Structure 1
């Protein structure tokens, strides 16, 4: 593994007046430039972990280190400069009357000079394909467009890590594809580290590695291919494998020559086509 930008060691956390721990002895690393998906059903601890990474919660026990800074109150703003968070509902992130005002908001708060701020706003909107909407009012945008503007607001701050907290769950399939493609492109161009907190295993299939949480603990971790081999276990945890993986298995049961569990429909169609649909 490359140099870790996030290191979590034996972290325990519980909410006030609760006896059960939301996170129990969590230990994991996130490598620089990696796309890590953290999946789990409601109550598995993934949202609590997302809030902890953004400094909204602190460990009761254990240690979290992000870009060399220990997650403590005195360092929380240093951590937030390095980790940008995109939330589930983009409307909750909009504060400006226009797209460019909204993207500029965080830069103004950080005291970025005006000429630098103007260049960063335009550059970040261009990177997510939203430069033509510079003076548009955010509430006139589609869901996918709003989420891309939210991503632009984060990347304008030039973080080392982007955290997507259920960032595609309110989008239609087209909007979801727009956002995930944008994030993938940005990751490759800037060597960004991406953490995707989600219950959607189709989204998780885009990641380099998946960690499955269950009842506040790390249940399994591995590549998407390895995790999707746990078919019945995932279903038992309240998760569902992507449709192409399901279909690959069904076709194999019908004696079609399908070599592996395909993560995308395109991969499955390509194999079916090259095998001439032979059993």
Structure 2
């Protein structure tokens, strides 16, 4: 049996309440993320997932409990050490651009970190090539599509070489093609660099691509498990204000009609394959 990986992030019994609010935004939340794992944190608006993102990046500090990132425990003294290990990609790519060209934008964080010019140029080029944007060095960001802008934002993060990338509703403003482009880019980077990925989202289709999922509700961890485990909840997820992926709803309808469809999460393509096989096996 293989040795268990050390958690790169460990959240231990954290609670947090905004000033003037009676209800805790987070209440005794605990979980860990292993190196190289993709964890999706899902929940409706107000479930606590956005507060969790702020705490992971040190924008907020928990009232109680511990946040451990690598060898650091989150505090005023360690917050910048932790931010160097975590790269955030936010919802609106337009709000992230600070450079007049694509390469200026990707270089911005490196300049702030004092990376030497020659190394900076190499890292910028490499990061843009990794997200298939190497030909856009001198483009002005506002000429790019939504998916391209988000890929540039990802390049700006990976150029800093963090251990963890957090996608904070990073695909919610994109069209289906742009969303697919960004998620495929992240998947490839994760495999190539053994990156740890945390996606914070209300989109269960995005979450289905993760290794593990956490469902948040009313500031607490409602359920934790693989996508297959979580999607077994079915109507419970709808009751929590989440919309099931189309393929799950379709598979459920087909089972009710007598089709033999496996009781697990299937992508649209996998569902088509199942139906194709059923048809030709007759």
Give the TM-score normalised by structure 1.
0.98
* Alpha-carbon distance, 1:31 to partner: 0.6
Of 101, 104, 119, the residue aligned with 1:101 is 104
Which residue of the partner structure matches residue 138 of structure 1? Answer: 141
Secondary structure class of the residue paired with 1:247: helix
Q: Runs of 5+ in structure 1 lacking a partner?
A: none
| 1:43 corresponds to 2:46 | yes
Question: Following the alignment from structure 2 to structure 1, what is the Cα–Cα distance between the partners of residues 204 and 188?
Answer: 20
Question: Following the alignment from structure 2 to structure 1, what is the Cα–Cα distance between the partners of residues 66 and 233?
Answer: 30
CA contact (8 A) 1:242 1:263 kept: no
Which residue of the partner structure matches residue 185 of structure 2? Answer: 182
CA contact (8 A) 1:205 1:263 kept: no
Matches within 5 A, 1:48-197: 48-197=51-200
Question: Following the alignment from structure 1 to structure 2, what is the Cα–Cα distance between the partners of residues 140 and 40?
Answer: 33
Q: Provide, for residues 77-135 of structure 1, a one-character-per-residue CA deviation record: whole Å limited to 9, x for no partner.
A: 10010000000000111000000000000000000000000000000000000010000
Q: Runs of 5+ in structure 2 lacking a partner?
A: none
CA contact (8 A) 1:248 1:262 kept: no
Give the TM-score normalised by structure 2.
0.97
C-alpha RMSD of the superposition: 1.1
> Runs of 4+ in structure 1 displaced over 4 angstroms?
none
May I ask how many residue pairs the two structures share in their alignment? 279
* Alpha-carbon distance, 1:259 to partner: 2.1
Question: Following the alignment from structure 2 to structure 1, what is the Cα–Cα distance between the partners of residues 127 and 155?
Answer: 5
Question: Following the alignment from structure 1 to structure 2, what is the Cα–Cα distance between the partners of residues 88 and 2?
Answer: 30
| 1:226 corresponds to 2:229 | yes
Which residue of the partner structure matches residue 22 of structure 1? Answer: 25
Which residue of the partner structure matches residue 269 of structure 2? Answer: 266
Secondary structure class of the residue paired with 1:276: helix
Question: Following the alignment from structure 1 to structure 2, what is the Cα–Cα distance between the partners of residues 220 and 263?
Answer: 20
* Alpha-carbon distance, 1:261 to partner: 3.4
Question: Following the alignment from structure 1 to structure 2, what is the Cα–Cα distance between the partners of residues 206 and 64?
Answer: 25
Question: Following the alignment from structure 1 to structure 2, what is the Cα–Cα distance between the partners of residues 278 and 170?
Answer: 41
CA contact (8 A) 1:256 1:277 kept: no
Question: Following the alignment from structure 2 to structure 1, what is the Cα–Cα distance between the partners of residues 99 and 243?
Answer: 38
* Alpha-carbon distance, 1:20 to partner: 1.3
Question: Following the alignment from structure 2 to structure 1, what is the Cα–Cα distance between the partners of residues 75 and 49?
Answer: 20
Question: Following the alignment from structure 1 to structure 2, what is the Cα–Cα distance between the partners of residues 38 and 262?
Answer: 17
Which residue of the partner structure matches residue 5 of structure 1? Answer: 8
Q: Provide, for residues 6-36 of structure 1, a one-character-per-residue CA deviation record: whole Å limited to 9, x for no partner.
A: 0011101011122211000001101110000
Secondary structure class of the residue paired with 1:218: strand
